[in-house]
Structure 1
């Protein structure tokens, strides 16, 4: 069975550049219009071990321009091809979510203590569905439907732009805010889960952006990389929202009900599974989902706990990509998983969970 990931419409282009602007304190936004020439790549970072990362970090070029430090990440493995790139605007937040982040830091150990234990063990289906349903109700209507008439995702017959790249973890309410916006905007993105105890992706964020803070967005189409969920949502709507503003209450509601799924789900999608494979899958899995779907949430939690990067196709209510999903799966059922590494295509969240924990356990030999 041929994986959809092998098709041209869903091919994942190489992310060949990344700029992060670290402004002086009190600064908000800077634009760099200079040209840089270097060999650098995002994709190579995924498989670097810790020793290679230290060597790779030593090759960072730090440029000082008008008081702004510009980090040009240079590839460790020289490909011998110079890339000419004109820097784009990079929005850097002045606002911080430190108080709420600190609260989350205190909350996480409690959730882990009273949580569901080993995620691979058989679960109480009633409790799983009930708590996820309540989580969906707490965040309704955000992250449930598309607000655009046309799709910015990856439909058959279209030559796709480069995927946005989101570093996040499922239990984080601020990451949830960004995923809700992506559902409303029909965006297909590469998700790099960063659970606590992460073996790979948290170090990538620290290397790319300078600190471990989530969510962290990289848009290779514009050269922008940024922290802070509120600023990310505003950026996504400004760049991909066809002139629309963020949905009413999307930004403000996170502080009031954004925590509910985290608490109701007892911290699922927060920490890495101790039996997760230490090395990433050769090719990214693909998940058809939308943020506030109660069954898709359970699957995303598992992907996060195994630190499996995947391409997320957002197919909210009214999304034009629902027809694309039908072409791929033969139905419009959410969630739907495609694994190009094995050729597996699965619907029903229970089947997907069973497959993931059996296939990507460190005890499993492929």
Structure 2
């Protein structure tokens, strides 16, 4: 029952945001940065969520430094950089920018890696967007605030990798746990680049097996595993690579939890 409720609340959180972060903006001629972006992030933060949605839609990978409440692994670094304890914080080594406000981060992402004509919503549209993101956080906070507060953990020596897309109900619990354990990871965004990819993997394999894959990360994961499914975790510290959110979370708790 608990697993069923967790999945249902994750679906409801995605629904609250209109499933933003599911589809890639192929028509916007997105560009990958030469050097990887860095995001100081809290999974449950409504303002961080809207930034991650755009990263997912632009198919831009990012190094995530989780900064949960009570965490001491990366929050002090973020404070040293920006002077305030505020998230999200984006570092772009390609331009030298350090940006705090979510709207300004989104404008920066569109300008440099997407369609420069796009901008983050302002005024009433922004209020509605943040309100729905807050609703998503509230849904995931029923019973327990997931992806918000730090838990005791052991830091990995090397950064992990996670194939995910923002609205995936199965990927979200993994990102929440990575945040709580303060485990840094490269977020390999896996947004769906064609309408034939919408829905669960069974839909594609059954009805559209010959549809071409255009997303770089989808091609990479297909080459690695023969599958297009998320979440998929790679841990270079142990050589473990695995699908299935339940198995991934059990592994993370065993390997890095206290």
TM-score of the superposed pair, with normalisation by structure 2: 0.84
1:26 matched to which residue of 2? Answer: none
Superposition pairs of residues 117-136 of structure 1, within 5 angstroms: 124-136=2-14
Distance 2:26 2:120 in 1: 12
Mapped contact 1:139–1:257 kept (Cα < 8 A): yes
Corresponding residue for residue 189 of structure 2: 314
1:337 counterpart SS class: strand
Q: 1:346 is paired with a residue of what secondary structure? A: strand
The answer for the alignment partner of 1:298 in structure 2 is 173
Where 2:26 maps in the other structure, the secondary structure is: coil
**Structure 1, 195-204 or 324-333: larger mean CA deviation:** 324-333
Q: Report the secondary structure of 1:212's partner residue.
A: coil
Deviation, 1:350, is 0.4
Contact residue 233 and residue 246 of structure 1 kept, 8 A: yes
- Say whether residues 1:205 and 2:78 are aligned partners: yes
CA deviation after TM superposition for structure 1 residue 130, in Å: 0.5
1:360 aligned residue: 256
Q: Does 1:288 align with 2:184?
A: no
Residue 263 of structure 1: CA displacement? Answer: 0.8
Deviation at 1:337, TM superposition (A): 0.5
Structure 2 residue 223 is the aligned partner of structure 1 residue 337: no
- Asked if 1 retains the 8 angstrom alpha-carbon contact of 2:36 and 2:62, the reply is yes
Contact 1:172 1:262 in 2 (8 A): yes
Give the drift of 1:244: 4.3
Count of residues paired in the alignment = 231
What's the offset of the Cα at 1:253?
3.5
SS in 2 for 1:259: helix
Q: Give the drift of 1:234.
A: 0.7
Match of 1:4 in 2: none
Shift of 1:325: 1.6
Give matches, 1:54-93, under 5 Å.
none
- Alignment CA distance shift 1:184-1:360 (3 Å): same
Structure 1 CA distance for aligned equivalents of residues 21 and 138 of structure 2: 18
Aligned counterpart, 2:224: 328
Structure 2, unpaired ranges of 5+: 194-213
Aligned counterpart, 2:65:
192
Aligned 1:263-278 pairs, distance under 5 A: 263-266=138-141, 267-273=145-151, 275-277=152-154
Shift of 1:243: 3.2
Q: Is the 8 A contact 2:99 2:105 kept in 1?
A: yes
CA RMSD of aligned residues (A): 1.9
Q: Deviations over 1:215-240 (max 9, x none)?
A: 00000011000100011001100111
Q: CA deviation at 1:245?
A: 0.8
What CA deviation, in whole Å up to 9, does each residue of 1:333-359 have, x standing for no partner?
A: 011100000011010100100000000
**Which structure 1 residue ranges, 5 or more long, are not aligned?**
1-122, 154-159
Residues 240 and 151 of structure 1: CA distance in aligned 2, closer, same or farther (over 3 Å): closer
For residues 253 and 295 of structure 1, the distance between their equivalents in structure 2, rounded to whole angstroms, comes to 25
Q: Deviations over 1:111-170 (max 9, x none)?
A: xxxxxxxxxxxx8111110100111111123111100255645xxxxxx72110000101
1:323 Cα deviation from its structure 2 partner: 1.1
Return the offset for 1:246: 4.3
Contact (CA 8 Å) 2:14, 2:20: kept in 1 or not?
no
Shift in alpha-carbon separation, 1:128–1:141, aligned structure 2, 3 A: closer
User: 1:251 and 1:336, CA in 2 relative to 1: closer, same or farther beyond 3 A?
Assistant: farther
